[in-house]
């Protein structure tokens, strides 16, 4: 069995990063990450036997972050640049879509692990990640287009030479 200080040392960065990516607020992310580890320390049910500790900590951190989201959304957004734009789009996503995207694409957890953390089927994880990716791609594509650039849905092909 792993000691609590060992768990905290090993998983603090990844748990904090998940909270930060879900909440987009450093102070709130640190508070939620801290609360996650404190609850794991004081409540043995948070780290059940037979469940990898990382999965249980992710589950607790995601749950706490999702419960905190409405309060964070009311605060002004202060990030700039592409990273800030991505965070703004992440905030527009459905909370579960955002959690699935962050765990799968940012944290690089396997789909099955994300499914276990969120308590949904692996197929639903893939759907939610795809939906989040399409939303991000669509929004960011529009945000970073050159001003006045027209989007064309047709493919231009060279004119064929006519034999006259």
Query: Which domains occur in the chain, in start order?
Result: 4-143 (1.20.140.160)
Say if CB 100 and CB 129 are below 8 A apart: yes
Let me know if 5 is exposed, middle or buried by CB neighbors in 10 A (0-12, 13-18, 19+). Answer: exposed
Other CB atoms within a 10 A radius of the CB of residue 76 amount to: 4
Q: pTM of the predicted model, to two decimals? A: 0.62
pLDDT at site 128 = 96
Q: For residue 160, is pLDDT > 60?
A: no
pLDDT at site 152 = 41
pLDDT at site 91 = 84
Provide the mean pLDDT of the chain: 80
């Amino acid at each position: 069995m792993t000691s609590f200080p060992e768990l905290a040392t090993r998983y603090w960065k990844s748990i904090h990063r998940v909270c930060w990516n879900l909440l987009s607020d450093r102070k709130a992310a640190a508070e939620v990450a801290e609360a996650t580890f404190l609850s794991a320390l004081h409540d043995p049910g948070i780290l059940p036997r037979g469940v990898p500790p990382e999965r249980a900590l992710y589950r607790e951190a995601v749950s706490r972050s999702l419960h905190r989201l409405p309060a964070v959304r009311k605060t002004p957004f202060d990030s700039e640049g592409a990273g800030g734009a991505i965070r703004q789009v992440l905030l527009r996503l459905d909370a579960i879509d955002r959690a699935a995207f962050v765990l799968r694409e940012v944290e690089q957890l396997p789909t099955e692990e994300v499914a276990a953390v969120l308590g949904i089927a692996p197929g639903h994880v893939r759907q939610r990640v795809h939906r989040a990716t399409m939303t991000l791609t669509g929004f960011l594509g529009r945000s970073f287009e050159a001003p006045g650039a027209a989007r064309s849905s047709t493919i231009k092909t060279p004119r064929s030479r006519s034999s006259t």
